[in-house]
Amino acid sequence: MNIRDQFREGLITNNPITVQQIGMCATMAITTSLFNGVGMGLSVLIILTCCNVVVSAVRKIIPNEIRLAIFVVIIASFVTIVDLLLKAYIPALSDSLGVFIPLIVVNCIIIGRAEAFCQKNDIKASFFDGIFQGLGYTVILIVMCVIRELLGSGRFGGGLIDVAKGFRFTLDGTGGGIQIFPSEFGASILTLPFGGFLTLGVVIAAMQYFLKKSAREKKAAEEAAAEAARLAAEQEED
Amino acid sequence: MKDNKIVKLSLVLFLVCAIAAGVLGVVYNLTKPTIDRRALEKTTAAFAAVLEAESYEVVDTGAYTLDRSVNSVYKASDGSGYVVESTFSGAQGNITMVVGVKSDYTCSGISITEHSETSGLGAVAASASDAGVAFREQFIGVGENVTVKDIDAIAGATITSTAVTNAVATSITTVKTIEGGAAA
Protein backbone atom coordinates (compact mmCIF):
# COMPACT_ATOMS: atom_id res chain seq x y z
CA MET A 1 0.00 0.00 0.00
CA ASN A 2 1.51 3.34 -0.96
CA ILE A 3 1.27 6.65 0.84
CA ARG A 4 -1.20 8.17 -1.63
CA ASP A 5 -3.66 5.33 -1.11
CA GLN A 6 -3.29 5.67 2.63
CA PHE A 7 -3.92 9.40 2.39
CA ARG A 8 -7.12 8.81 0.40
CA GLU A 9 -8.21 6.09 2.83
CA GLY A 10 -7.69 8.15 5.97
CA LEU A 11 -9.35 11.28 4.68
CA ILE A 12 -12.07 9.92 2.42
CA THR A 13 -12.70 6.28 1.58
CA ASN A 14 -11.97 4.88 5.05
CA ASN A 15 -12.44 7.99 7.18
CA PRO A 16 -12.60 7.02 10.87
CA ILE A 17 -15.79 8.98 11.58
CA THR A 18 -17.85 9.00 8.41
CA VAL A 19 -16.99 5.56 7.04
CA GLN A 20 -15.67 3.38 9.88
CA GLN A 21 -17.95 5.28 12.30
CA ILE A 22 -15.76 4.83 15.36
CA GLY A 23 -14.88 7.27 18.13
CA MET A 24 -18.29 8.94 17.92
CA CYS A 25 -18.81 9.75 21.61
CA ALA A 26 -16.08 12.35 21.87
CA THR A 27 -16.95 13.60 18.39
CA MET A 28 -20.45 14.53 19.42
CA ALA A 29 -19.49 15.84 22.83
CA ILE A 30 -16.66 18.23 22.06
CA THR A 31 -17.45 19.70 18.65
CA THR A 32 -18.97 22.87 20.06
CA SER A 33 -16.16 25.29 19.23
CA LEU A 34 -13.32 25.35 16.73
CA PHE A 35 -10.80 25.52 19.58
CA ASN A 36 -12.05 22.22 21.03
CA GLY A 37 -12.26 20.55 17.63
CA VAL A 38 -8.74 21.45 16.53
CA GLY A 39 -7.31 20.64 19.97
CA MET A 40 -9.03 17.26 20.21
CA GLY A 41 -8.21 16.37 16.61
CA LEU A 42 -4.52 17.14 17.02
CA SER A 43 -4.35 15.32 20.37
CA VAL A 44 -5.84 12.21 18.78
CA LEU A 45 -3.53 12.56 15.78
CA ILE A 46 -0.42 12.68 17.99
CA ILE A 47 -1.54 9.83 20.26
CA LEU A 48 -2.65 7.69 17.31
CA THR A 49 0.64 8.16 15.46
CA CYS A 50 2.75 7.35 18.53
CA CYS A 51 0.64 4.30 19.40
CA ASN A 52 0.67 3.05 15.81
CA VAL A 53 4.47 3.25 15.63
CA VAL A 54 5.02 1.52 18.97
CA VAL A 55 2.42 -1.19 18.35
CA SER A 56 3.88 -1.86 14.95
CA ALA A 57 7.41 -1.97 16.37
CA VAL A 58 6.54 -4.56 19.02
CA ARG A 59 4.04 -6.53 16.94
CA LYS A 60 6.38 -9.48 16.38
CA ILE A 61 7.67 -9.85 19.93
CA ILE A 62 4.47 -9.68 21.95
CA PRO A 63 2.57 -12.93 22.59
CA ASN A 64 -0.72 -13.06 20.73
CA GLU A 65 -2.80 -13.98 23.81
CA ILE A 66 -2.07 -10.78 25.67
CA ARG A 67 -1.73 -8.36 22.77
CA LEU A 68 -4.88 -6.40 23.64
CA ALA A 69 -3.74 -5.88 27.23
CA ILE A 70 -0.41 -4.60 25.94
CA PHE A 71 -2.09 -2.30 23.40
CA VAL A 72 -4.18 -0.80 26.18
CA VAL A 73 -1.10 -0.17 28.33
CA ILE A 74 0.67 1.52 25.39
CA ILE A 75 -2.37 3.67 24.56
CA ALA A 76 -2.99 4.63 28.18
CA SER A 77 0.65 5.69 28.56
CA PHE A 78 0.59 7.99 25.55
CA VAL A 79 -2.76 9.47 26.54
CA THR A 80 -1.46 10.22 30.03
CA ILE A 81 1.67 11.83 28.59
CA VAL A 82 -0.39 14.08 26.29
CA ASP A 83 -2.78 14.87 29.16
CA LEU A 84 0.11 15.94 31.42
CA LEU A 85 1.75 17.99 28.66
CA LEU A 86 -1.53 19.77 27.85
CA LYS A 87 -2.09 20.51 31.55
CA ALA A 88 1.39 22.00 31.79
CA TYR A 89 1.62 23.94 28.54
CA ILE A 90 -1.90 24.51 27.11
CA PRO A 91 -4.02 24.57 30.29
CA ALA A 92 -6.95 26.29 28.54
CA LEU A 93 -7.35 23.36 26.16
CA SER A 94 -7.03 20.89 29.00
CA ASP A 95 -9.76 22.78 30.94
CA SER A 96 -12.04 23.04 27.96
CA LEU A 97 -11.79 19.42 26.83
CA GLY A 98 -11.91 18.23 30.43
CA VAL A 99 -12.49 14.53 30.78
CA PHE A 100 -12.40 13.85 27.02
CA ILE A 101 -8.60 13.85 26.87
CA PRO A 102 -8.23 10.97 29.39
CA LEU A 103 -11.14 9.29 27.60
CA ILE A 104 -9.03 8.97 24.44
CA VAL A 105 -7.76 5.80 26.16
CA VAL A 106 -11.03 4.11 25.30
CA ASN A 107 -11.44 5.86 21.94
CA CYS A 108 -11.97 3.00 19.51
CA ILE A 109 -10.08 4.76 16.71
CA ILE A 110 -6.81 4.05 18.45
CA ILE A 111 -7.34 0.46 19.55
CA GLY A 112 -9.15 -0.14 16.26
CA ARG A 113 -6.19 0.96 14.16
CA ALA A 114 -3.77 -0.97 16.39
CA GLU A 115 -5.77 -4.15 15.98
CA ALA A 116 -6.82 -3.74 12.34
CA PHE A 117 -3.75 -2.16 10.79
CA CYS A 118 -0.57 -1.87 12.84
CA GLN A 119 -0.20 -5.46 13.92
CA LYS A 120 -0.12 -6.48 10.26
CA ASN A 121 1.96 -3.66 8.78
CA ASP A 122 5.46 -2.26 9.14
CA ILE A 123 6.43 0.83 11.10
CA LYS A 124 6.48 3.24 8.16
CA ALA A 125 3.01 2.30 6.93
CA SER A 126 1.69 2.47 10.51
CA PHE A 127 3.21 5.91 11.00
CA PHE A 128 1.48 7.29 7.91
CA ASP A 129 -1.71 5.48 8.86
CA GLY A 130 -1.66 7.33 12.19
CA ILE A 131 -1.06 10.71 10.53
CA PHE A 132 -3.75 10.28 7.85
CA GLN A 133 -6.40 8.66 10.06
CA GLY A 134 -5.74 11.42 12.59
CA LEU A 135 -6.06 14.04 9.87
CA GLY A 136 -9.31 12.48 8.65
CA TYR A 137 -10.62 12.62 12.22
CA THR A 138 -9.49 16.24 12.66
CA VAL A 139 -11.04 17.38 9.37
CA ILE A 140 -14.45 15.91 10.23
CA LEU A 141 -14.26 17.40 13.74
CA ILE A 142 -13.51 20.81 12.23
CA VAL A 143 -16.40 20.48 9.76
CA MET A 144 -18.77 19.60 12.62
CA CYS A 145 -17.45 22.40 14.84
CA VAL A 146 -17.91 24.97 12.09
CA ILE A 147 -21.49 23.82 11.36
CA ARG A 148 -22.55 23.59 15.01
CA GLU A 149 -20.87 26.80 16.07
CA LEU A 150 -22.19 28.83 13.14
CA LEU A 151 -25.78 27.60 13.20
CA GLY A 152 -25.93 27.12 16.96
CA SER A 153 -24.43 30.36 18.20
CA GLY A 154 -23.70 32.41 15.09
CA ARG A 155 -19.96 32.35 15.61
CA PHE A 156 -16.90 31.15 13.78
CA GLY A 157 -13.62 30.11 15.37
CA GLY A 158 -14.62 30.41 19.04
CA GLY A 159 -11.66 30.23 21.39
CA LEU A 160 -9.15 30.20 18.57
CA ILE A 161 -9.65 33.53 16.85
CA ASP A 162 -9.77 36.81 18.70
CA VAL A 163 -11.08 39.87 16.89
CA ALA A 164 -11.54 42.14 19.91
CA LYS A 165 -8.06 43.65 19.47
CA GLY A 166 -7.47 43.12 15.78
CA PHE A 167 -7.42 39.73 14.09
CA ARG A 168 -5.18 37.25 15.87
CA PHE A 169 -5.03 33.62 16.88
CA THR A 170 -5.13 32.71 20.55
CA LEU A 171 -3.98 29.55 22.26
CA ASP A 172 -5.49 30.29 25.66
CA GLY A 173 -9.10 29.83 24.59
CA THR A 174 -10.09 33.41 25.37
CA GLY A 175 -10.86 34.51 21.81
CA GLY A 176 -14.52 35.22 21.29
CA GLY A 177 -14.48 34.17 17.63
CA ILE A 178 -16.05 36.10 14.79
CA GLN A 179 -19.71 36.80 15.48
CA ILE A 180 -21.47 36.35 12.15
CA PHE A 181 -25.00 36.87 13.43
CA PRO A 182 -26.29 37.55 16.98
CA SER A 183 -26.28 34.41 19.09
CA GLU A 184 -29.99 34.86 20.02
CA PHE A 185 -30.89 33.85 16.48
CA GLY A 186 -28.85 30.65 16.63
CA ALA A 187 -30.50 27.23 16.88
CA SER A 188 -28.96 26.49 20.27
CA ILE A 189 -30.26 22.92 19.92
CA LEU A 190 -27.17 22.32 17.80
CA THR A 191 -24.80 23.09 20.65
CA LEU A 192 -26.46 20.44 22.84
CA PRO A 193 -25.31 16.80 22.62
CA PHE A 194 -28.18 15.69 20.45
CA GLY A 195 -27.39 18.54 18.07
CA GLY A 196 -24.16 16.59 17.73
CA PHE A 197 -26.13 13.54 16.62
CA LEU A 198 -28.05 15.61 14.06
CA THR A 199 -24.91 17.23 12.64
CA LEU A 200 -23.03 13.95 12.56
CA GLY A 201 -25.91 12.25 10.76
CA VAL A 202 -26.01 14.98 8.11
CA VAL A 203 -22.22 14.94 7.67
CA ILE A 204 -22.16 11.15 7.29
CA ALA A 205 -25.09 11.23 4.86
CA ALA A 206 -23.42 13.89 2.72
CA MET A 207 -20.14 11.99 2.72
CA GLN A 208 -21.81 8.70 1.79
CA TYR A 209 -23.76 10.44 -1.00
CA PHE A 210 -20.58 11.76 -2.59
CA LEU A 211 -18.74 8.46 -2.11
CA LYS A 212 -21.59 6.57 -3.80
CA LYS A 213 -21.85 9.20 -6.51
CA SER A 214 -18.16 9.03 -7.34
CA ALA A 215 -18.31 5.21 -7.29
CA ARG A 216 -21.29 5.33 -9.68
CA GLU A 217 -19.55 7.78 -11.99
CA LYS A 218 -16.45 5.62 -12.01
CA LYS A 219 -18.53 2.57 -12.86
CA ALA A 220 -20.40 4.48 -15.57
CA ALA A 221 -17.12 5.68 -17.06
CA GLU A 222 -15.79 2.12 -17.05
CA GLU A 223 -18.94 0.83 -18.74
CA ALA A 224 -18.75 3.60 -21.34
CA ALA A 225 -15.13 2.73 -22.02
CA ALA A 226 -16.00 -0.97 -22.36
CA GLU A 227 -18.88 -0.10 -24.67
CA ALA A 228 -16.59 2.06 -26.83
CA ALA A 229 -14.02 -0.72 -26.98
CA ARG A 230 -16.72 -3.19 -27.99
CA LEU A 231 -17.99 -0.86 -30.74
CA ALA A 232 -14.47 -0.31 -31.99
CA ALA A 233 -13.91 -4.06 -32.08
CA GLU A 234 -17.17 -4.54 -34.00
CA GLN A 235 -16.20 -1.86 -36.53
CA GLU A 236 -12.88 -3.55 -37.09
CA GLU A 237 -14.68 -6.82 -37.76
CA ASP A 238 -16.83 -5.11 -40.40
CA MET B 1 4.25 -26.78 30.01
CA LYS B 2 1.08 -24.79 30.59
CA ASP B 3 2.47 -23.22 33.75
CA ASN B 4 5.53 -22.11 31.83
CA LYS B 5 3.38 -20.24 29.37
CA ILE B 6 1.49 -18.40 32.08
CA VAL B 7 4.76 -17.38 33.71
CA LYS B 8 6.09 -16.14 30.38
CA LEU B 9 2.96 -14.13 29.61
CA SER B 10 2.95 -12.59 33.07
CA LEU B 11 6.59 -11.63 32.71
CA VAL B 12 6.01 -9.94 29.36
CA LEU B 13 3.02 -8.06 30.69
CA PHE B 14 4.96 -7.06 33.78
CA LEU B 15 7.83 -5.80 31.64
CA VAL B 16 5.53 -3.73 29.43
CA CYS B 17 3.84 -2.21 32.46
CA ALA B 18 7.18 -1.48 34.10
CA ILE B 19 8.46 0.36 31.02
CA ALA B 20 5.21 2.32 30.72
CA ALA B 21 5.31 3.23 34.40
CA GLY B 22 8.93 4.34 34.08
CA VAL B 23 8.20 6.61 31.11
CA LEU B 24 5.15 8.07 32.82
CA GLY B 25 7.17 8.72 35.97
CA VAL B 26 9.71 10.73 33.98
CA VAL B 27 7.04 12.78 32.18
CA TYR B 28 5.16 13.33 35.42
CA ASN B 29 8.26 14.66 37.15
CA LEU B 30 9.11 16.89 34.19
CA THR B 31 5.66 18.46 34.00
CA LYS B 32 4.84 18.57 37.72
CA PRO B 33 6.59 21.88 38.53
CA THR B 34 4.80 23.63 35.64
CA ILE B 35 1.42 22.12 36.52
CA ASP B 36 1.85 23.04 40.19
CA ARG B 37 2.87 26.57 39.27
CA ARG B 38 -0.18 26.94 37.04
CA ALA B 39 -2.43 25.61 39.80
CA LEU B 40 -0.94 28.08 42.29
CA GLU B 41 -1.28 31.00 39.85
CA LYS B 42 -4.87 29.97 39.24
CA THR B 43 -5.67 29.80 42.95
CA THR B 44 -4.06 33.17 43.64
CA ALA B 45 -5.88 34.74 40.69
CA ALA B 46 -9.12 33.11 41.84
CA PHE B 47 -8.68 34.51 45.36
CA ALA B 48 -8.00 37.99 44.05
CA ALA B 49 -11.03 37.77 41.77
CA VAL B 50 -13.47 36.84 44.50
CA LEU B 51 -12.20 39.00 47.37
CA GLU B 52 -9.50 41.61 46.99
CA ALA B 53 -6.95 41.59 49.82
CA GLU B 54 -3.22 41.98 50.44
CA SER B 55 -2.79 38.45 51.68
CA TYR B 56 -4.80 35.56 53.00
CA GLU B 57 -4.24 33.48 56.10
CA VAL B 58 -5.43 29.94 56.58
CA VAL B 59 -8.17 29.45 59.16
CA ASP B 60 -7.86 26.35 61.32
CA THR B 61 -11.14 24.62 60.60
CA GLY B 62 -10.59 21.74 63.02
CA ALA B 63 -12.29 23.67 65.81
CA TYR B 64 -15.62 23.97 63.98
CA THR B 65 -18.17 21.50 62.66
CA LEU B 66 -18.40 22.49 59.02
CA ASP B 67 -20.06 21.04 55.99
CA ARG B 68 -17.78 18.28 54.75
CA SER B 69 -17.65 19.70 51.22
CA VAL B 70 -15.58 22.61 52.53
CA ASN B 71 -11.88 22.06 51.86
CA SER B 72 -10.26 25.08 53.41
CA VAL B 73 -11.08 28.57 54.63
CA TYR B 74 -8.85 31.63 54.31
CA LYS B 75 -9.30 34.93 56.08
CA ALA B 76 -8.44 38.16 54.32
CA SER B 77 -5.65 39.90 56.23
CA ASP B 78 -7.51 43.22 56.26
CA GLY B 79 -10.57 41.62 57.86
CA SER B 80 -12.84 42.36 54.90
CA GLY B 81 -14.04 38.76 54.74
CA TYR B 82 -13.21 35.17 53.98
CA VAL B 83 -12.43 32.99 50.99
CA VAL B 84 -13.89 29.48 51.20
CA GLU B 85 -12.72 26.67 48.96
CA SER B 86 -15.19 23.81 48.57
CA THR B 87 -15.78 20.80 46.37
CA PHE B 88 -19.25 19.82 45.17
CA SER B 89 -20.23 17.10 42.76
CA GLY B 90 -21.37 18.40 39.39
CA ALA B 91 -22.81 16.56 36.45
CA GLN B 92 -19.59 14.87 35.34
CA GLY B 93 -17.33 15.01 38.37
CA ASN B 94 -16.24 17.24 41.20
CA ILE B 95 -16.39 21.00 40.92
CA THR B 96 -13.87 22.81 43.08
CA MET B 97 -14.50 26.49 43.55
CA VAL B 98 -13.60 29.41 45.75
CA VAL B 99 -16.26 31.75 47.09
CA GLY B 100 -15.52 35.15 48.57
CA VAL B 101 -17.69 36.01 51.57
CA LYS B 102 -17.79 39.56 52.90
CA SER B 103 -18.15 40.32 56.59
CA ASP B 104 -21.86 41.08 56.10
CA TYR B 105 -22.36 37.44 54.99
CA THR B 106 -22.92 38.15 51.34
CA CYS B 107 -21.05 36.66 48.45
CA SER B 108 -18.41 38.92 46.91
CA GLY B 109 -17.67 36.72 43.92
CA ILE B 110 -17.02 33.14 42.86
CA SER B 111 -14.43 31.40 40.78
CA ILE B 112 -14.31 27.79 39.63
CA THR B 113 -10.82 26.38 39.85
CA GLU B 114 -11.31 22.79 38.82
CA HIS B 115 -14.11 20.92 37.07
CA SER B 116 -14.81 18.29 34.45
CA GLU B 117 -18.21 19.47 33.25
CA THR B 118 -19.43 18.95 29.70
CA SER B 119 -17.73 21.23 27.24
CA GLY B 120 -20.22 23.80 25.94
CA LEU B 121 -22.81 23.12 28.66
CA GLY B 122 -21.72 22.86 32.29
CA ALA B 123 -18.25 24.10 31.40
CA VAL B 124 -19.80 27.50 30.58
CA ALA B 125 -19.98 28.09 34.35
CA ALA B 126 -16.18 28.24 34.48
CA SER B 127 -15.47 29.71 31.06
CA ALA B 128 -14.22 33.18 30.26
CA SER B 129 -17.07 33.72 27.79
CA ASP B 130 -19.73 36.42 28.28
CA ALA B 131 -22.28 33.82 29.37
CA GLY B 132 -19.84 32.38 31.93
CA VAL B 133 -18.98 35.79 33.38
CA ALA B 134 -22.68 36.73 33.57
CA PHE B 135 -23.48 33.44 35.31
CA ARG B 136 -20.80 33.98 37.96
CA GLU B 137 -21.48 37.69 38.46
CA GLN B 138 -25.11 37.13 39.44
CA PHE B 139 -23.91 35.54 42.69
CA ILE B 140 -22.36 38.81 43.86
CA GLY B 141 -24.38 40.10 46.79
CA VAL B 142 -26.50 37.00 47.41
CA GLY B 143 -26.96 35.71 50.96
CA GLU B 144 -26.84 32.26 52.50
CA ASN B 145 -30.44 31.38 51.57
CA VAL B 146 -29.77 31.50 47.84
CA THR B 147 -31.24 28.58 45.90
CA VAL B 148 -30.98 27.68 42.26
CA LYS B 149 -34.44 29.23 41.74
CA ASP B 150 -33.06 32.67 42.54
CA ILE B 151 -30.50 32.66 39.76
CA ASP B 152 -30.48 32.29 36.00
CA ALA B 153 -29.21 28.74 35.59
CA ILE B 154 -27.17 27.77 32.55
CA ALA B 155 -29.45 26.22 29.94
CA GLY B 156 -28.85 22.49 29.71
CA ALA B 157 -26.70 22.47 32.84
CA THR B 158 -29.10 22.37 35.77
CA ILE B 159 -26.91 20.06 37.83
CA THR B 160 -23.86 22.27 37.41
CA SER B 161 -25.86 25.41 38.25
CA THR B 162 -27.31 23.74 41.36
CA ALA B 163 -23.90 22.60 42.52
CA VAL B 164 -22.46 26.10 42.15
CA THR B 165 -25.41 27.64 44.01
CA ASN B 166 -25.09 25.09 46.83
CA ALA B 167 -21.39 25.84 47.10
CA VAL B 168 -22.13 29.57 47.50
CA ALA B 169 -24.80 28.96 50.16
CA THR B 170 -22.59 26.49 52.04
CA SER B 171 -19.61 28.84 51.96
CA ILE B 172 -21.62 31.67 53.53
CA THR B 173 -23.00 29.32 56.21
CA THR B 174 -19.43 28.19 56.90
CA VAL B 175 -18.23 31.73 57.45
CA LYS B 176 -21.20 32.37 59.75
CA THR B 177 -20.28 29.31 61.80
CA ILE B 178 -16.66 30.43 62.08
CA GLU B 179 -17.49 34.04 62.92
CA GLY B 180 -20.11 32.90 65.42
CA GLY B 181 -17.62 30.55 67.00
CA ALA B 182 -15.02 33.31 67.26
CA ALA B 183 -17.47 35.63 68.95
CA ALA B 184 -18.55 33.04 71.49
* Chain segment A93-123, per-residue pLDDT in tens: 887 787 788 888 888 888 888 888 888 888 9
Residue A191: per-residue pLDDT: 79
- CB contact (8 A) between residue B31 and residue A88: yes
One-letter amino acid for residue B64 of the chain: Y
B27 domain residue, yes or no:
no
Residue B184: per-residue pLDDT: 42
Burial grade of B42 (CB within 10 A; 0-12, 13-18, 19 or more)? middle
Who wins on pLDDT, A5 or B23?
Answer: B23
* Chain segment B84-128, per-residue pLDDT in tens: 888 998 888 889 888 888 888 889 888 888 887 877 788 888 887
| 8-state DSSP, B154 | P
B71 domain residue, yes or no:
yes
Residue-averaged pLDDT of chain A: 85
* Chain segment B65-82, per-residue pLDDT in tens: 788 888 888 888 787 888
B111 domain residue, yes or no:
yes
For the cut 50, the answer to whether the pLDDT of residue A166 exceeds it is yes
Residue B20: per-residue pLDDT: 93
pTM above 0.90, yes or no: no
Give how many domains chain B has, as a whole number.
Answer: 1
Residue B24: per-residue pLDDT: 94
- Pick from A197, A144, A145: which is nearest to A33 by CA? A145
**Domain hosting residue B151, numbered range:** 49-183
Question: B4, B16, B121, B154: best mutation site toward chain A, by most A Cβ within 10 Å?
Answer: B16
ipTM over 0.95: no
Confidence class for position B181, pLDDT limits 50, 70, 90: low
B90 domain residue, yes or no:
yes
Residue A161: per-residue pLDDT: 74
Give how many domains chain A has, as a whole number.
Answer: 1
Highest mean pLDDT: which of A186-200, B13-27, B130-144? B13-27
B89: chain A residues, CB-CB within 8 Å = none
**Domain hosting residue A98, numbered range:** 3-237
What mean pLDDT comes out for the span B151-173?
A: 89
**Using beta carbons and an 8 Å cutoff, which residues of B are at the interface with A?**
8-9, 12-13, 16-17, 20, 23-24, 27-28, 31, 34-35, 38, 92-93, 115-121, 123, 126-130, 155-156
- CB contact (8 A) between residue A84 and residue B117: no
Confidence class for position A173, pLDDT limits 50, 70, 90: low
